Structure 1
Amino acid sequence: MKINKQEFDVQEMRYTIRSAMVQDAMNLSELRLRIDGETENLDREKGEAFISTAGFEQLIQADTENDKNLFLVAVVHDKVVAFSRCEGHVLRRFAHKVEFGVCVQKDYWGYGIGTNLLKESISWADSNGIRKMTLQVLETNNKAIALYKKHGFEIEGVLKNDKILSDGQYYNTILMGRIHN
């Protein structure tokens, strides 16, 4: 599905949030690889579960055609610096919900890009009959947890010792959900 593009000015940085286009595929492939190496807050280490340009082209096309999916990008000076996805379910019993995920290049943290990708996704979900949004977040990612709570997400569960990070320690994954009435 697509949304109308939105412009934002935050701390003298201007960026656009819009639906992903097939032309973004190469940039997204490179960006995802870069972001995976910048933080341990995501599921992947750098290079794992690599998605090629062709893979992103297929993903963008499928998400554009599916009214239960939303693929957004944040663009600064014609360069994609962040993206988010809402992925719906094909099974009828789960057709009321989507799973949300977001990635922001570290150089662009602190400009509200992740927040605005989340807000746009919530707005889309609420106006398109999606009753529930879910997500997973690393227990140590306190800023993200606070952001999600601020926007109506609640902790629904904990996956104990779910991930092992570079320090060799195990960490919990927090399951969060937001229900639209």
Structure 2
Amino acid sequence: MIIDQQSYDCRGLHYIIRSAEIADAQAMSQLRVQIDGETEYMDRERGEAYLSPDDFERVIKMDTEQSANLFLVAEAENKLIGYARCEGSELKRLAHRAEFGIGVCKPYWGFRVGTELLRQAIAWADANDILKLSLSVLECNTKALRLYEKHGFEIEGRLRNDKRLADGRLYDTIVMGRLRSQT
């Protein structure tokens, strides 16, 4: 699915959020590796489960063609700085929901990039008959937990001792969902 481009200004940073394009594949491949290496909040460490530019071309093409999917990028200073992806299902029993994920480069934290990516994903879901958005977040990522709760996500479950971080400790993964009001 494709959305209209939106522009934002926050604390002196101008950025846009738009649908990913095939031409973004190279930059997305690099961005994902960068973000994975900047935080332990992602599932992967830097370079794990690497997606090549060709892989991203396939994902972007699929997400553009399928109404149940959305792939957004945030762009500032002539480069990609973040992304969000919603992946739905073509199966009738699951067609009402989509899984949501987000990543923002660390130098751009604090500029509401993640918030605006989330808001765009929610607006897309609400406009496209997606009744439920689901996501997973580490228990120690308190900023993300607050952000998701502020936007209507509720805790639906906890996967105990689900991820081992660099400190050697095991952390729970919080499963969250947002149900669109059907009234």
TM band (smaller chain): over 0.9
Q: How many residues align?
A: 181
Q: 1:1-181 counterparts in 2 under 5 A?
A: 1-181=1-181
Q: Could you list the runs of 5+ residues in structure 2 that have no partner in the other structure? A: none
Output one character per residue of 1:68-92: Cα deviation in whole Å (capped at 9) or x when no partner: 0000000002210100000001322
Q: Could you list the runs of 5+ residues in structure 1 that have no partner in the other structure? A: none
TM superposition shift of 1:167? 1.1
SS at match of 2:116: helix
Q: Which amino acid aligns with 1:116?
A: E
User: Percent identity among equivalent residues?
Assistant: 54
Query: In 1, Cα distance between the equivalents of 2:6 and 2:38?
Result: 27
SS at match of 2:114: helix
Query: In 2, Cα distance between the equivalents of 1:124 and 1:3?
Result: 8
Query: In 2, Cα distance between the equivalents of 1:16 and 1:96?
Result: 28
Normalising by structure 2, report the TM-score.
0.98
Q: Which amino acid aligns with 1:4?
A: D
Normalising by structure 1, report the TM-score.
0.99
TM superposition shift of 1:26? 0.4
Output one character per residue of 1:34-78: Cα deviation in whole Å (capped at 9) or x when no partner: 110100001001110000000001100000000000000000022
Query: In 1, Cα distance between the equivalents of 2:90 and 2:4?
Result: 25
Moved over 3 A (4+): none
Q: Which amino acid aligns with 1:157?
A: G
Query: In 2, Cα distance between the equivalents of 1:169 and 1:92?
Result: 40
Q: Which amino acid aligns with 2:148?
A: Y
SS at match of 2:87: strand
Query: In 2, Cα distance between the equivalents of 1:179 and 1:26?
Result: 34
Q: Which amino acid aligns with 1:152?
A: G
Query: In 2, Cα distance between the equivalents of 1:157 and 1:92?
Result: 24
Q: Which amino acid aligns with 2:113?
A: I
TM superposition shift of 1:141? 0.3
Output one character per residue of 1:129-168: Cα deviation in whole Å (capped at 9) or x when no partner: 1000000000000000000000000000000000111111
CA RMSD of aligned residues (A): 0.6
